[in-house]
Amino acid sequence: MHVEAVKSYLLGLQDDICSQLAEEDGQASFIVDEWQRAEGGGGRSRVLSEGAVFEKAGVNFSHVVGASLPPSASASRPELAGRSFQAMGVSLVIHPRNPYVPTSHANVRLFVAEKPGEDPVWWFGGGYDLTPYYGNEEDCIAWHQEAASACAPFGEDVYPRYKKWCDEYFHLKHRAEPRGVGGLFYDDLNEWDFDTCFSFMQAVGDSYIRAYRPIVNRRKSQPYGERERDFQLYRRGRYVEFNLVYDRGTLFGLQSDGRTEAILMSLPPLVRWEYDYQPEPGSDEAALTEYYLTDRDWLAQA
């Protein structure tokens, strides 16, 4: 294992993504918050607030160590419960101001579970997904083409497998709808050797900003009014619901006594809920759930 090489890559990834997002915003910059965790490890949170393009953008690096794996990390691997662990990763959520620019999320991470006298058990996880408020086919297709290109060197079955996993994972069961238009999601990845798995992490991590920035650039100046803003804030409620009810990263952070400000950095600054809201038939708002949020095969649309 080359844990320090992974850590170095993740810190560089955080630097690059923050630099590109700040450049795209053109007004605000990221504040940096370095923090330490009492049980071991720490992190570097970076947050951009009230920018011209991004209402809130959080890009968090963390490297934490602990004496015992939390339940969220050992749920699918009960034989590892009680092992000491270290976990490192970059996690980010971007909430744009303009309703025509989608929210996006990305995460790449490495877990290592250790026990004296035994070889460490390691696995990688991560992915990214796109959550539009007003759907756009060009954006959805381009996003998935970039995801497929990142996966292609690792096997022709990789993108379809991790695209399907993303659709299934980012699903609000209580709403019976996907959170967005998907992307990639993978976890417990150790089927290849360490170096190949690390290379895949880098392919996914590096492709995120290549996929997202052109979409932001195309949509950030599109005119909008109060109706679109209200709908954006309403749909942001779905994002909050998923992150607080289902998201593994949120659960892991809270169960491992992580830093709450960093864990909840993903939540939008403004959001609204409305009782039994129904979009106007035939409207762009109705098209979001009727056409875009349907686990569609976007590569077939190209």
- The residues assigned a catalytic role are 105
Can you read off the two tokens belonging to residue 116?
């004296």
- Give the helix/strand (H/E) hosting 197: helix 194-219
Both structure tokens of 129: 């997904």
Segment holding 55, helix H or strand E: strand 54-66
In a 3-state reduction of DSSP, which class is residue 228? Answer: helix
Q: Give 126's contacts (C-beta < 8 A, 6+ positions apart).
A: 89, 106, 107, 108, 109, 184, 185, 186, 187, 201, 204, 205
As beta bridge partners, residue 104 has 94, 130
The secondary structure of 69-129 as a DSSP string is: --HHHHTT-GGGTT-EEEEEEEEEEEEESSTTSPEEEEEEEEEEEE-TTS--EEEEEEEEE
Categorise residue 239: left if φ over 0, alpha if ψ from -120 to 50, beta otherwise.
alpha
For tokens 């150790």, what's the residue?
190
Report the binding-site residues for substrate.
91, 107-109
CA 154 to CA 277: how far, in whole Å?
Answer: 43
Angle at 103 between CA 15 and CA 166, to 5 degrees: 90
Task: Report the binding-site residues.
Answer: 91, 95, 105, 107-109, 144, 174
In the chain, what is the greatest distance between 2 CA atoms, to the nearest angstrom? 64
Q: How many CB atoms lie within 10 A of CB 301?
A: 11
Annotated binding site for a divalent metal cation: 95, 105, 144, 174
